Amino acid sequence: MQTVLVAPPVTGTLRPFWYRATRVALALCPLIAVHLALFAIPFVEFTVWSVVAIFVVTRITGLGITAGFHRYFSHHSFKTSRWFQFLLAVAGCTALQKGPLWWVAHHRLHHKHSDTPADPHSPVVNGFFHGHVGWLFTRDLMKPDERPVRDLAKYPELVWLDRLWMIPGVLLAAACFAVLGWNGLIYGFCLSVVLVFQVTFAVNSIGHLFGRQRFDTGEGSRNNLVLGYLAMGDGWHNNHHRAPYSARHGFAWYEFDVCYRFIRLLARLGLVWGVKEPPAELRFGRVAPEPETNAEPVAGGS
């Protein structure tokens, strides 16, 4: 008999549709706002400071997602102190992709049920649009099941930040406006956040449909050359699904991994340690994935 997987239930009593629809709209309001703000681009001059602002903000928001929410909080690819852990969480929140517990809970469900009906955002099962962004509208964005993130929920500051996830983004937007005016707000913040959002979510959609499968991982993850560079290394997605614990996603010489280099820099500075590497043999052959555990402590470990 074939086993049919179903999506895990949302904890608590199911609210009326109007209530859930309102919660979804409010949860997505910041992301919708920064996308709509791009209509102001024809009216705001693009200068060299625009380029500088875009570079700086995409590094903050992008590495907050890739190094913070993804490789550290979701997969424990390295260890760090509690204060720097919080700093990574704040940086991730500036990308306006909700809070660390919410983000990690959905990502861990994705790995556990990749490209099955229980996957929150599988383009293989539900199509490209759903895998890219549609799942945000079709799923209830109320407080997720915290069972996948018990290791994070034990930190009160992370729980607090998960509830007030908009604050870091609002503060960064205000800083951009204070320094460069409308140029800083529209180009430096809004455009940067939109770029990071679209690239991050393209890994969910394009990264499971188009590209090369170096490893037979039993699902649709692929290494995509364009995403590999745009997503700071997260686009080497098939490599990642083969060794989700690894801080390094780029296995081949041409698979440059900006996030991994950043993590290595942090290690040299003594801010992180215990950086996990993939076995050398993973660069060859087609092998099955290994199980992953999220049970180890996050901060303060040796």
Residue range 208-224, pLDDT digits in tens = 999 999 999 999 999 99
What does the pLDDT look like over 66-75, one tens digit per residue?
A: 999 999 999 9
Domain ranges of the chain: 18-211
Q: Beta-carbon neighbour count of residue 136 at 10 Å?
A: 19
Instruction: Summarize pLDDT for 148-173 with one digit per residue, the tens.
Output: 899 999 999 999 999 999 999 999 99
Q: What are φ and ψ of residue 272, in 5° steps?
A: -135, 165
CA-to-CA dists, residue 207 to 7, 55, 87, 203, 213, angstroms:
21, 24, 28, 4, 10
pLDDT band at 295 (very low <50, low <70, confident <90, very high): very low
CB 224 within 8 A of CB 235: yes
Sign of CA dihedral 157, 137, 222, 286: positive
Q: Please state, in angstroms and rounded to a whole number, the distance separating the CA atoms of residues 69 and 95.
A: 11
Between 66-80, 128-142, 229-243, the lowest mean confidence (pLDDT) is in 128-142
- C-alpha torsion angle, residues 32, 33, 39, 41 (rounded to 10): -120
Distances in Å between the Cα of 113 and the Cα atoms of 117, 219, 289 are 8, 9, 13
Q: What is the pTM of this model?
A: 0.87
CA dist., res. 31 & res. 228, Å (int): 24
- The chain-wide mean pLDDT, for the chain, equals 88
Instruction: For 296, list phi and psi in degrees, rounded to 5.
Output: -75, 155
* DSSP states of 263-301: HHHHHHTTSEE------GGGGSS--PPPP----S--BS-
For residues 213 and 223, is the Cβ–Cβ distance under 8 A?
Answer: yes
pLDDT level of residue 280 (50, 70, 90 thresholds): confident
